[in-house]
Amino acid sequence: MMTAVLNLLGTTPRARRRALWGIALILPNTIGLFVFFGIPVLMSFNTSLQEWNGIRPAVYIGLDNFERLASDTRFWNALSNTLQLLLMIVPLEMLLALGVALLLNQQRLKGRAVFRTIYFLPVVTSTVAASVVWAWIFQPRFGLLDMFIAPLGFTDIRWMTSPDLVLVPIAAVAIWQRLGFDMVLFLAGLQSIPGVLYEAAIIDGANRWQRFRYVTLPMLSPITFLVVVLAIIHGFQIFDQVFIMTARTVPGGVGGSATTLTYLLYDSGFVRSQFGYASAVAVVLFAIILSVTVGQLRLQRYWVYYESGEAQ
Amino acid sequence: MTKRVVFSVLLVVVLALSASVVAQETTIDEPMITPVVCEEPGDLTMWVWDETWAEVIGNSIEVWTEKYCEGATVDLIQQPWGNYWDLLRTNAAGGDLPDVFNMSQTFVGFYADNDVLLNLQPYWDDAGIDTTMWGTGMVNPYRFGEDGDLHAGPVNWDTVAVLYNKEMLEAAGLEEPTSDWTWDDFAMYTEALTDEEAGVFGSAVYMQFQTGYANWIAATGESPAVAPERAGCTLTSDESLEALNYLHGLYDAGYMPSVSVMGGSSADDAFALFASENVAMITAGSWKMPDAIEQLTFDWDIVQLPRHPETGRSRSVLHAVGYVAAANTSQPDLAANLITFLVSDEAQMFFAEAGGVAPANPNPVLQATWAEAFADSGKNVQAFIDATEDSQGVTGFGEIWNVINAELVINIFDLDIPVEDAAAMACDEIDRTIAELAE
């Protein structure tokens, strides 16, 4: 038995030592991940099967929380809001980030490092601070945005109170904050594309658009895939912007118009003290994100190209 | 030489007596609550949410540890309001509540329903304290159980009144309102004070539950938002709709700003607009007086809420913060002893002299001292005291707070949803929540 275990690590003492060193070095992080992430996740699964207000002893109720969730209009409303935000955020965020990355990839552009820093600053800005400021930017009468759009005839737009519009400022802040992160990824991807491919394309008579379409985009597809996956995962978990930006009006938006799945989770747990139900929301959210991510992994074979030149 | 010595001694004695009079706070000859010495000192933790109160309570605790419980220590922590309730619930879930903490009438129900609070009634009885002295508005929300045991000691009370810009009134040729003014007078004042070109609104008096529309509903005789004993939502009653429609009429005519214009639905947003002289009259709570005195740069004053034209009543929502103890505290007797001291005349004098919120202890000397604290300001704080006579206790509770505090207000005064529809939507949510809690 012991020999079998040691053979897993390596067949020579040196190989085994290296393997053990590797394990030892990642062990602290792994333990931390298990203690601070793994165990809480397992506990959350357990709590989702209970009725618990955080004070009285928890009572097992089986799948009742999930049954309730299935018929709860607040859940479906939150899911709808989350999907709407994803539709607004992911395409725009990617397009803008790619556009900025393409601009910053120009060799002739002076001060590229400065621009890169400027675009990355929102990424390292506190979400709370950014949300507070952006809420004031969207203030209909005295906000900065109103200064620019009022002369165009758009006045007194109730961004933060109108159920039809409240998701727009939230999406705007989310895009603004993540743009720099995606830009950096795209920039790294662009800079790793071999120049010989462009040279070959030029020799073949490809114009700028054709080079972009048939060289840049395919070679960038692994990074694009990464950006899409991360953006979607992040989009499903939007909470800070909702919490902060709707705090001055109606938390979660009028009639739940800004309530996302994670906000519903917080509201159920920490406002209504329904921790079992909140955990059920968390489990469902986990399942949704996992399904979407697995689906994306499966679909990547059709459009992601790696250096071998073929989709995998 | 002898005469000089005698004179010097007399001078020193006189000076010492004068100094003691100057240094000594106002004394109360007939206290309503006399503290008792603790049986055994120990260590307590205490949470409050207000920075100013933390200082006042800290001063009180110093006296308690010197005179009534030598050797006891209290770790007093001020948790910011924005985090207070989340932290409290989290700690309650973890069984790690502070021994003593501030409680609001709005949120006490959850803790009482889950037996988190120490029943203080036995301690009131032992100390010979008649808890009816505080008045039903202050203490009834803190009474639980079949016998209506009081689980909290009232810290302070606050009521709501109208703050008005005297300079704007004068410019509009209006006399300063008196406590006899009516809703009709108020509407006339609001209209006269509105200057659309200058971007000035006549009033902003609807926002939030406590400082806003609930007071106007209460003046009709109706219980605001929720019927007593949580019997159901009252927002769709004729009286509630009358009050809401009255306010909506002023808003619809352009005399009151929308929530979006104010930048938020809280009373603080209205206060900011008042401070910037963009609105002539607002409703504000008595807790706002220190800020108003410090920040307002124009001439202003205070008057009671206007009277309903038919009932003749001017009613203010009255709220009392309470001192409570955790049911699982390891030192229940000590915690109760501290609370008994904090609600005594001796401790409440610190609140009275601080000039912030008014002390809950009804001793007339304390109330007069509190009013006197504002004497230099020249403001009519008596309006807040007078408002306690026909006050309305807080009827809202935590689980429906967003609906009655913000959503209803925004639906009517920003999204222009008809009053009846907005009230019906709110009642759907309130009644659903009441039914859920009853299960």
Q: Does A68 touch chain B (CB under 8 A)?
A: no
Q: How confident is the model at residue A309 (pLDDT cuts 50, 70, 90)?
A: low
Q: Are residues A249 and A117 in the same domain?
A: yes
Contact across the interface for B410 and A273, Cβ inside 8 Å: no
Residues 6+ apart with CB under 8 A from B294: none
Residues of A in contact with B398 (CB under 8 A): 271
Q: What is the pLDDT of residue B216?
A: 97
Report whether A292 contacts A205 (CB < 8 A): no
Contact across the interface for A250 and B407, Cβ inside 8 Å: yes
Q: Does B17 touch chain A (CB under 8 A)?
A: no
Report whether B138 contacts B104 (CB < 8 A): no
Report whether A303 contacts A311 (CB < 8 A): yes
Contact across the interface for A254 and B259, Cβ inside 8 Å: no
E strand or H helix at B319? strand B317-325
B341-381 pLDDT tens trace = 999 999 999 989 887 788 999 898 998 899 888 888 889 99
Q: Are residues A14 and A158 in the same domain?
A: no
- pLDDT tops 70 at residue B158: yes
Q: Are residues A185 and A227 in the same domain?
A: yes
Q: Are residues A81 and A114 in the same domain?
A: yes
Q: What is the pLDDT of residue B222?
A: 95
Q: Are residues A34 and A81 in the same domain?
A: no
Q: Is B255 exposed, middle or buried (0-12, 13-18, 19+ CB in 10 A)?
A: buried
Q: Are residues A197 and A162 in the same domain?
A: yes
CA distances from B32 to B130, B132, B389 (A): 9, 12, 19
Report the alpha-carbon distance of residue B83 to residue A83 in Å, rounded.
Answer: 30
A41-77 pLDDT tens trace = 999 999 999 999 988 899 999 999 999 999 999 999 9
Residue B21 has a CB neighbour count (10 Å cut-off) of 8
Q: What are phi and psi of B204, to 5 degrees?
A: -145, 95
Of A56, A142, A249, which has the smallest distance from its Cβ to B410's Cβ?
Answer: A249
Q: Quick one: CA torsion of A173, A176, A180, A182, rounded to 10 degrees?
A: 80
B107-138 pLDDT tens trace = 998 899 899 999 999 999 999 999 988 877 78
Residues 6+ apart with CB under 8 A from B334: B38, B40, B41, B42, B44, B69, B72, B99
Q: What is the pLDDT of residue A29?
A: 94
E strand or H helix at A229? helix A217-236
Report whether A163 contacts A257 (CB < 8 A): yes
Q: Are residues A74 and A218 in the same domain?
A: yes
The size of chain A, in residues, is 312
Please tell me which residue of chain A has the smallest CA distance to B406: A250
Residue A156 has a CB neighbour count (10 Å cut-off) of 11
Q: What is the largest CA-CA distance in chain B?
A: 91
Q: Tell me which amino acid residue A155 is.
A: T
Residues 6+ apart with CB under 8 A from B254: B194, B196, B201
Report whether A174 contacts A238 (CB < 8 A): yes
DSSP state of B75: E
Q: Tell me which amino acid residue B34 is.
A: T
- For residue A216, being part of any structural domain is answered with yes
Q: What is the pLDDT of residue B292?
A: 94
Nearest to B85 by CA among B76, B97, B73: B97
For the segment B310-322, the average pLDDT, to the nearest whole number, is: 93
Residue B419, token pair as written in the block: 């009053």
Q: Is A202 exposed, middle or buried (0-12, 13-18, 19+ CB in 10 A)?
A: middle
Residues of A in contact with B402 (CB under 8 A): 250-252
Q: Does A250 touch chain B (CB under 8 A)?
A: yes
Q: Does A74 touch chain B (CB under 8 A)?
A: no
Contact across the interface for A55 and B93, Cβ inside 8 Å: yes
Query: What is the torsional sign of CA A138, A143, A147, A150?
Result: positive
Q: What is the pLDDT of residue B388?
A: 85
Of B90, B260, B425, which has the smallest distance from its Cβ to A161's Cβ?
Answer: B260
B4-53 pLDDT tens trace = 444 444 443 333 434 443 333 566 778 889 999 999 999 999 999 988 88
Domain count, chain A: 2
Of B89, B266, B415, which has the smallest distance from its Cβ to A254's Cβ?
Answer: B415
> Where in the sequence is the domain holding A105, given as residue range(s)?
64-302
E strand or H helix at B323? strand B317-325
DSSP per position, B235-286: TTSHHHHHHHHHHHHHHHTTSS--HHHHTSSSHHHHHHHHHTTSEEEEEEEG
Q: Give the distance, in angstroms, between the CA of residue B343 and the centroid of all CA atoms in the same chain.
A: 16
A151-187 pLDDT tens trace = 898 888 889 889 999 999 999 999 999 999 999 999 9
Q: What is the pLDDT of residue B103?
A: 96
- Helix H, strand E, coil C: the string for B30-54 is CCCCCCCCCCCCCEEEEEECCHHHH
Fold of the CATH domain B43-157+319-377: D-Maltodextrin-Binding Protein; domain 2 (3.40.190)
Q: What are phi and psi of B143, to 5 degrees?
A: -95, 130
Residues 263-282 of A with CB under 8 A from B: 270-273, 275
Decide which of B325 and B16 is more confident.
B325
Contact across the interface for B266 and A255, Cβ inside 8 Å: no
Q: What are phi and psi of B67, to 5 degrees?
A: -105, -30
How large is the C-alpha radius of gyration of chain A?
24
- pLDDT tops 90 at residue A102: yes
Residues forming CATH 3.40.190.10 domain(s) in chain B: 43-157+319-377, 160-315+397-438
Of B260, B269, B398, which has the smallest distance from its Cβ to A158's Cβ?
Answer: B260
- For residue A54, being part of any structural domain is answered with no
Residues 6+ apart with CB under 8 A from B70: B41
Contact across the interface for B116 and A249, Cβ inside 8 Å: no
Report whether B192 contacts B237 (CB < 8 A): no
Q: Are residues A251 and A139 in the same domain?
A: yes
Q: How many helices (H) and strands (E) does chain B have?
A: 20, 13
Q: Give the distance, in angstroms, between the CA of residue B138 and the centroid of all CA atoms in the same chain.
A: 10
B84-104 pLDDT tens trace = 998 998 899 888 999 999 999
- Out of B24-28, B381-385, B411-415, least confident range: B24-28
Report whether B194 contacts B255 (CB < 8 A): yes
Go through B273-292 and write b for each residue having 16 or more CB atoms within 10 A of its CB, e for each that does not.
bbbebbbbbbbbbbbbbbeb
Domain B160-315+397-438 in CATH 3.40.190.10: yes
Best of B261, B407, B416, B421 to disrupt the A interface (most A CBs within 10 Å) is B407
DSSP state of B26: P
Minimal Cα–Cα distance from A67 to chain B, Å?
16
Q: Are residues A11 and A71 in the same domain?
A: no
Q: What is the pLDDT of residue A307?
A: 65
Q: Is A168 exposed, middle or buried (0-12, 13-18, 19+ CB in 10 A)?
A: middle
Report the alpha-carbon distance of residue B6 to residue B56 in Å, rounded.
Answer: 42
Q: What is the pLDDT of residue A308?
A: 59
Residues 6+ apart with CB under 8 A from B189: B169, B174, B177, B181, B202, B203, B280, B281
| Strand B153-158 to B358-359 pairing | antiparallel
B148: left (phi over 0), alpha (psi -120 to 50) or beta: left
Report the alpha-carbon distance of residue B186 to residue B305 in Å, rounded.
Answer: 9
Residues of A in contact with B266 (CB under 8 A): 248
Please tell me which residue of chain A has the smallest CA distance to B207: A249
Minimal Cα–Cα distance from B166 to chain A, Å?
26
Contact across the interface for A255 and B93, Cβ inside 8 Å: no
Give me the residue label for tokens 């005295």: A142
Q: Are residues A106 and A167 in the same domain?
A: yes
Residue B188, token pair as written in the block: 């006339």
Contact across the interface for A54 and B415, Cβ inside 8 Å: no
Give me the residue label for tokens 């890169």: A116
Q: How confident is the model at residue B426 (pLDDT cuts 50, 70, 90)?
A: very high
CA distances from A66 to A45, A104, A200, B157, B161 (A): 12, 48, 57, 44, 48
Q: What is the pLDDT of residue B6?
A: 42
Q: What is the largest CA-CA distance in chain A?
A: 79
Of B114, B263, B414, which has the smallest distance from its Cβ to A55's Cβ?
Answer: B114
A211-220 pLDDT tens trace = 999 999 999 9
Residue A242, token pair as written in the block: 């909702």
Minimal Cα–Cα distance from B177 to chain A, Å?
31
Q: What is the pLDDT of residue A293?
A: 94
Q: Does A302 touch chain B (CB under 8 A)?
A: no
Prediction pTM value: 0.83
For the segment A9-29, the average pLDDT, to the nearest whole number, is: 88
Q: Are residues A117 and A248 in the same domain?
A: yes
- ipTM of predicted complex: 0.77
Contact across the interface for B407 and A53, Cβ inside 8 Å: no
How large is the C-alpha radius of gyration of chain B?
24
In chain B the first and final C-alpha atoms are separated, in Å, by 89
Residue B274, token pair as written in the block: 């008042």
For the segment B263-281, the average pLDDT, to the nearest whole number, is: 93
Q: Does A141 touch chain B (CB under 8 A)?
A: yes
- For residue A46, being part of any structural domain is answered with no
- For residue A52, being part of any structural domain is answered with no
Report whether B369 contacts B26 (CB < 8 A): yes
Mean pLDDT of chain B: 90
Q: Are residues A13 and A85 in the same domain?
A: no
Contact across the interface for B86 and A250, Cβ inside 8 Å: no
